[in-house]
Chain A
Amino acid sequence: MLNIKELLDKVKASPYREIVVRAPHTGVVSFASVKPGEKVHGPRGEFMEKPGTLLAQLTREKNEKPILAPEKGVIEAVHTRYEGQFVEAGEPLVTIKHYMTRKEVIELILQEALYLFRAPERAKYYFVPEVDQKLKVSGKRSVKVHDGMEFLIVSRMKRETPLAYSGPEGIIYSVYFGRGENVDEGEPLIGVCPEDQLSVIQDVVARIQSEWEEEA
């Protein structure tokens, strides 16, 4: 039995995710005028066409490449000691504290609380026809899976093989892949929830929905 409350408290204690912005390649860094404590924003607009806040410029072969904030948040640290210096790829430049949104918190809790069935190889995945139909007609959470149940089809290079479920018995709570989409090895495919915990999880999700305050 999972202690959801403890989990939630843990998230509440640090409602941030730290994003470390690293140098994508070698080059000379010059930081934009961002200081710790400043707010930054990620790409915006209906089509994400407006770029995020400029954090730094990386110059290689006189080619200036802007480094932009990937998400909104507050600047925690700027590694100004690199200013004007040549850095290697992967060097951390800026750290952004990203206040988690409601959706992200729910996702985080679910990833902890659910049993995640992971992709055994990079391929496209489909549900077997019976499961697929049931999911379509009665929605998610209507399909119960148990150990050894063949419920997925692995499609790779025109080879389609059935995939059996292994793990605790439960119902499919969330599906992490889309139709015709390649899933990398080790990525979660579905999240399974034991039947008796369903109400608990739904409660938590509802609580987060109502309680979690999203930062504007």
Chain B
Amino acid sequence: MDRERRIQGLRERLHYIQDIFANRDDESIRLLAAKFGELIERHETVSGGAKREELARIEDLFDFSERKLDTTLTPMDRVRIVRHPQRICLKDILENVYDNYTEIGGRGEYNIDPSMLIARAVFSRRVGDKVINQMVMVIGQEKGHGEAFRNGGSVKPWGNAKALHYMKVAETENIPVHAFVFTPGAYPVEDWPGAAQQIARNLYELAGLRVPVISVFSEGGSGGAEAIGLADRRIMLSHGYYSVISPEGAAAIEAGLRSGDRTTPELIEKCARQLCITAEDNLRNGYVDRVLQEPPLGARPYHYDFFHELRRELIQTTNEVVSSVKSMKLYRAMAVRTSKTDDAESIYMRWTLSSSALDRLVDLRQRKFRAMSRHARLDGTGIVSRAVAATKGTVWAAHSFVRYDLLGRQKKRLNAVFEDLGAEAHLVRHKVFMPLKKTLDRVLPGNNGEPPKVGEAVVDRLTRLSCPEDGACLVGSEWAWTSPRSQEDRTISCPNVRTHHCPDLWVPDLFGDFAGVCPSCGHHFPMEYRWYLENVFGYSEAKEFNRQLESVNPLGYEKFDTKLDKAKERTGLKSACITFETSIEEVDTVVAVLCAPFRGGSVGAAEGEKFIRAAERATRKRQPFIAYVHGTAGIRIQEGVNGVIQMPRCTIAVRRYIDAGGLYLVLYDTNSYAGPVASFLGCSPYQFAVQSSNIGFAGPGVISETTGTAVPPNYHQAYHALSRGHIHGIWDRREVKKNLHQSLLTMGGRNLYYR
């Protein structure tokens, strides 16, 4: 019986190896297959079956070959390892790493989203002669190999909402969160509350979550991974991957495929290599803190040593995080940092933190992310200008502190007191003098009969007909900048002509006077970002900063340099983000623009850095911060994780800005999808869209490719985003400036200088 089981085990190992290497022609694999075949043959023909020694010999051969094959793994092999049904999943970890656990928030199919698993788990261990139980909240994606209802670990929006809920619970209970990232990516449904919107909310909360968060990455696919991956410490399993997009997706984009076609395996292999998705790559780039070595060819559920190792790592890392912010560190902190053996189990550290320690923890987390991805961009500013900028920043901060905090707050308080007093006085005066006035009015009847005086000019203006010399007819355009397209002498048809019967439009009218809006149905034709820069933000008088930050090709992605150069040449920009200071109707603001003509407005390391610096500048100067998204296709995939990491980074910057009391406004135009919407744009409490814009998590092409279902043509329409509560208003292009000003006056935090 035992022998049968061992042979079965060997068979599974062989199948696993063949699956992982996708039938690659390799000497060792062929040898293993042959040896195993011989063994089976002998086992069936010869009575008594395979001998014990022979079995042991073959098992040794398997061990040896696995170790040897492990050194030849390509990135794509690792992707196959992670996707393999024999790969460990979260349930295995819960069973083997923790001493006890209770699944909460649903179980199995009876779950609001079975792909997201939540559990309260316990570490029990003996320290000295005492048994200690330490609680953690485990949150992670469960791939549930073979369980279709788990959706392969692709979390729907409500699954992420559930994760967020239990993060909050952990915060209330002051227990650490252990997040396990086992997802190929989030599921792109735009149901309530919207995939992008929910991930953005998770990121925003995680950016300031007041408990230690440790995340373990096995399979990290972009947005889905970030929803629970923003952590104090990130551990990565050595055979996992963490990427901006699946290699297949990258290959499909690279090859420019229409839906339905397939890419070649070679191209997929190449993309996997170029995206730098492996654990070593991520460790080298600084996006994970530690790599946990797995057994050869990846951990499977019977590798109990590995689970033991993971347990040690988790305890030690949690200890480390806690000790780094604890006020009473003593000798233990040092012991925690140096111990690489099983000693982690013997060091006891209380995982509940005091309020001040939690403040330090959050601050440390935010600083940690702020320092990432410095190598993935080019800062062309000279050393002198950088020093000047730094000095200026300090001066502004000091100036703002004195003016708005030290003096301004007192002034505000004084104003409030006077306001209250004034209101009181008004009431008193009213009570006392009203009866008196009434009596006087009665006694002297002539007093109230007089009509109010109206100026002659007003009467004249109201009563006469319009005259041509006043400019009754429109002369020229009222816009400061008109699109060069308005020079063309031709007409254009509105796309809504079938439903709204719009007449054809003369192009000079449309792009000149009408600002690209169909006067009959209100359809907004796409407009250049320059139009907004000039007509809304007054770019010509604005002060641009960080112009020298430049997008580069940090991963050495093939042919990407030339593409970048072309984009730079065509647009005259150095990255897709423009940041400047301007004043909108006398209100000074900081504006960040993501413009679509530069690589689709995709966000990479340079764009993220510019965005963060703009948010910091707004904080220092106590100014409102407006993000105008002319269009964004998402995260720049050619930068790999350098791009993805901008999601948490920028969200943290935004969170810091909002927490400091600022007003963060987002305005979407044309098409905004994926990463940025699912993080630093989607987390804004005030998001607006220009009519006819599209907002969503994944574009229609990606949805049909990943889920296999087509989406209706108007699936991402701004009105749908409005109805599910993602955005909070839809604006007409011609009224953007007016609405922005109105919003600046009526919305926002406490630290705005003009209020």
| Residues of A bordering B, CB below 8 Å | 45-47, 49, 60-63, 65
Q: Do B493 and A46 have beta carbons less than 8 Å apart?
A: no
A63 to B507, CA, bound (A): 10
Chain B residues within an 8 Å CB radius of A61 = 490-491, 504, 506
Output the least CB separation between A182 and chain B (Å).
15
Cβ of B26 within 8 Å of any chain A Cβ, yes or no, is no
19 additional A-B residue pairs with CB within 8 Å, beyond A61-B506, A63-B493: A45-B710, A46-B710, A47-B710, A47-B712, A47-B713, A49-B713, A60-B491, A60-B504, A61-B490, A61-B491, A61-B504, A62-B488, A62-B489, A62-B490, A62-B491, A63-B490, A63-B491, A63-B492, A63-B504
Report B464-490 residues with CB < 8 Å from chain A CB: 488-490
User: How far is A63 from B491 in the complex, measured between Cα atoms in Å?
Assistant: 5
Chain A residue with Cβ nearest B490: A62
Of the A-B pairs whose beta carbons lie under 8 Å apart in the complex, a sample of 20, sorted by A's number, is A45-B710, A46-B710, A47-B710, A47-B712, A47-B713, A49-B713, A60-B491, A60-B504, A61-B491, A61-B506, A62-B488, A62-B489, A62-B490, A62-B491, A63-B490, A63-B491, A63-B492, A63-B493, A63-B504, A65-B493
Contacts of B489 in A (CB 8 A): 62
B487 to chain A, nearest CB (A): 13
Which A residue's beta carbon lies closest to that of B714?
Answer: A47
Q: Mark B643-680, 1 if CB is under 8 A from A, else 0.
A: 00000000000000000000000000000000000000
Q: For B490, what are the chain A residues with a Cβ–Cβ distance below 8 Å?
A: 61-63
CA separation between A62 and B490, bound complex, in Å? 5
A interface: dominant SS: loop
Complex: how many Å from CA A46 to CA B712? Answer: 8
**Bound Cα distance A62, B491 (Å):** 6
Interface digits, B705-716 against A, CB 8 Å rule (1 contact, 0 not)? 000001011000
CA distance A84 to B493 in the complex (A): 21
Q: Which residues of A contact B488 (CB under 8 A)?
A: 62
Q: How many residues of B contact A (CB 8 A)?
A: 11
Inter-chain CA distance A47–B709, complex, in Å, is 12
The 10 closest A-B pairs by CB, nearest first: A62-B490, A61-B491, A63-B491, A49-B713, A46-B710, A47-B712, A61-B490, A47-B713, A63-B492, A63-B490
Q: Which residues of B contact A46 (CB under 8 A)?
A: 710
State the Cβ distance, B705 to closest chain A Cβ, in Å: 15
Find chain B residues with CB under 8 A from A45 CB: 710
Question: Which residues from A are CB-within-8-Å of B493?
Answer: 63, 65
**Closest chain A residue to B700 by CB distance?**
A49
Instruction: State the CA gap A46–B704 with chains docked (Å).
Output: 12
Q: Which residues of B contact A60 (CB under 8 A)?
A: 491, 504
Q: In the bound complex, what is the Cα–Cα distance between A61 and B488 (angstroms)?
A: 11
Q: Closest residue to B712 on the A side, CB-wise? A: A47
- A61 to B507 alpha-carbon distance, docked (Å): 10
Q: How far is the CA of A45 from the CA of B711 in the complex (A)?
A: 11
Q: Which residue of B lies closest to A46 (CB)?
A: B710
A47–B713 alpha-carbon span in the complex (Å) = 7
Q: How far is the CA of A63 from the CA of B493 in the complex (A)?
A: 7
Measured CA separation A154–B493 after assembly (Å): 38
A89 to chain B, nearest CB (A): 13
B260 to chain A, nearest CB (A): 12
* Distance A65 CA – B490 CA, assembled complex (angstroms): 12
Report how far A196 CA is from B504 CA in the complex, Å. 55
With both chains docked as a complex, state the minimum distance between the C-beta of B716 and any C-beta of chain A, in angstroms: 13
In the bound complex, CA of A135 to CA of B155 (Å)? 45
CB of B491, distance to nearest CB on chain A (Å): 4
Q: Report the minimum CB–CB distance from B199 to chain A (whole Å).
A: 27
Q: In the assembled complex, which residues on chain A have CB atoms less than 8 Å from the CB atom of B504?
A: 60-61, 63
- Give the distance to chain A from B213, nearest Cβ to Cβ, in Å: 42
Q: Of all chain A residues, which has the CB nearest B713?
A: A49
How many whole Å from B708's CB to the nearest CB in chain A? 12
Question: Chain B residues with Cβ under 8 A from A65's Cβ?
Answer: 493
In Å, the complex CA distance between A65 and B497 comes to 11
Residues of B within 8 A of A63 (CB): 490-493, 504
**Cα of A216 to Cα of B506 in the assembled complex, Å:** 43
User: Which residue from chain B places its CB closest to the CB of A61 in the assembled complex?
Assistant: B491
- For the complex, give the distance between the alpha carbons of A69 and B492 in Å: 21
CB distance from A62 to the nearest CB of B (A): 3
Shortest Cβ distance from residue B488 to the other chain A in the assembled complex, whole angstroms: 8
Please name all residues of chain A whose beta carbon is closer than 8 Å to the beta carbon of B712 when the two chains form the complex.
47
A52 to B489: give the CA distance in the assembly, Å: 29
In Å, the complex CA distance between A62 and B493 comes to 11
Interchain nearest-CB distance for A64 vs B (Å): 9
Identity of the chain A residue whose Cβ is nearest the Cβ of B492 in the assembled complex:
A63
- In the docked arrangement, what's the CA distance between A160 and B506, Å? 44
Across-interface contacts of B506 in A (CB, < 8 A): 61
The distance from the CB of A86 to the nearest CB of chain B, in whole angstroms, is 15
| Cβ-closest chain B residue relative to A66 | B493
**When each residue 496-512 of chain B gets 1 if its CB lies under 8 Å from chain A and 0 otherwise, what string results?**
00000000101000000
| Closest chain A CB from B242 CB (angstroms) | 35
**In B484-543, which residues have CB < 8 Å from any A CB?**
488-493, 504, 506
The residue in chain A whose Cβ has the minimal distance to the Cβ of B489 is A62
Please indicate the chain B residues that have their CB under 8 angstroms from the CB of A49 in the complex.
713
Cα distance A65–B494 when bound, in Å? Answer: 11
- The smallest beta-carbon distance between A48 and chain B, in angstroms, is 9
Please give the distance in Å from B423's CB to the nearest CB on chain A: 49
Closest to A24 in B: B497
A161 nearest CB across to chain B (Å): 30
Complexed CA–CA distance, A65 and B713 (Å): 21
Smallest Cβ distance from B688 to chain A, in angstroms? 28
Across the interface, name the chain A residue whose C-beta is closest to B497. Answer: A65
Complex CA distance for A65 and B504, rounded to whole angstroms: 11
